[in-house]
Amino acid sequence: MKQHTTGIFIHKSAYSESSLIVSFFTEDAGLQRFLFQGGQKKASALYPCSICEITFYRRPDSELGKLTEARSITPLSQIPFNPVHGTVAFFFADIMRNVLKNETEDRDLFHFLIHTIQKTDELQEQELAVAVIFFLLKLTEKLGIEPQVEEKQKRFFLPAEGLFSDVERLDTITFSGEGVLLIQLLLSEAEISSVTPNAKKEALEILLAYYRLHIPSFSVERTLDIVREILYH
């Protein structure tokens, strides 16, 4: 039976000279994988984080559906054309590929991702470094692993426990510095007038360490080096 849904394109890999295996995070069925026959020639709409209406068939006894069409339904003005925005979208898609595992409906998460993609597409290039950090933080909330923020800022962050502290711990990994302060400001959604390059760089590395501790097999190294070079040099 032919089915339709909306999905965020995450990943593709070659299946044959003409076909692809593609992954989407869908509105009504979570993470879904499809065989896209002839996809090597039909995949013009499939760029990282593209928002598509997809048409497919699925048999109950098969892990792979059969994708017949993917049509972009939310035009994006920067991500498909601007290399900096495109790099961020590629990084976001790589993060999704690592953390989205469930083949079940999660509309709250889906709409959060849609909003994030659309908002990112509207940002100026100089705003993207903080936007990446904010996305990583808000995504921890959706995944149920968010750090616990308090009203008063603390000097140290303990990633294994997801806690901030005024006391440095020597028995566990501990972070301090500008990045820890920036993370707390973003978690509390405080107004931020300016952010130093060092604070952005530190915050990114702290959050990636946090993900590695809390998400099994988390690895975004293939896109991370490019993001570091473009946004956090």
- Bridge partners, 3 (sequence order): 56
Residue 11 — very low, low, confident or very high, per pLDDT cuts 50/70/90? very high
Asked if the structure places residue 92 within a domain, the reply is yes
54 and 161 belong to one structural domain: no
Residues 7 and 28 both lie in one domain: yes
Q: How many CB atoms lie within 10 A of CB 200?
A: 19
As a whole number, the mean pLDDT across the chain is 93
pLDDT band at 145 (very low <50, low <70, confident <90, very high): very high
Q: Is residue 101 exposed (0-12), middle (13-18) or buried (19+ Cβ within 10 Å)?
A: exposed
Q: Which range of residues forms the domain containing residue 45?
A: 2-72
Q: How confident is the model at residue 131 (pLDDT cuts 50, 70, 90)?
A: very high
24-48 confidence digits (pLDDT tens): 999 999 999 999 998 888 777 799 9
Tens digit of each residue's pLDDT (9 = 90 or more) over 181-209? 999 999 988 878 789 999 999 999 999 99
Which range in 9-18, 56-65, 124-133, 183-192 is most confidently predicted, on average pLDDT?
A: 124-133
Same domain, 27 and 134: no
Sign of CA dihedral 202, 203, 206, 212: negative
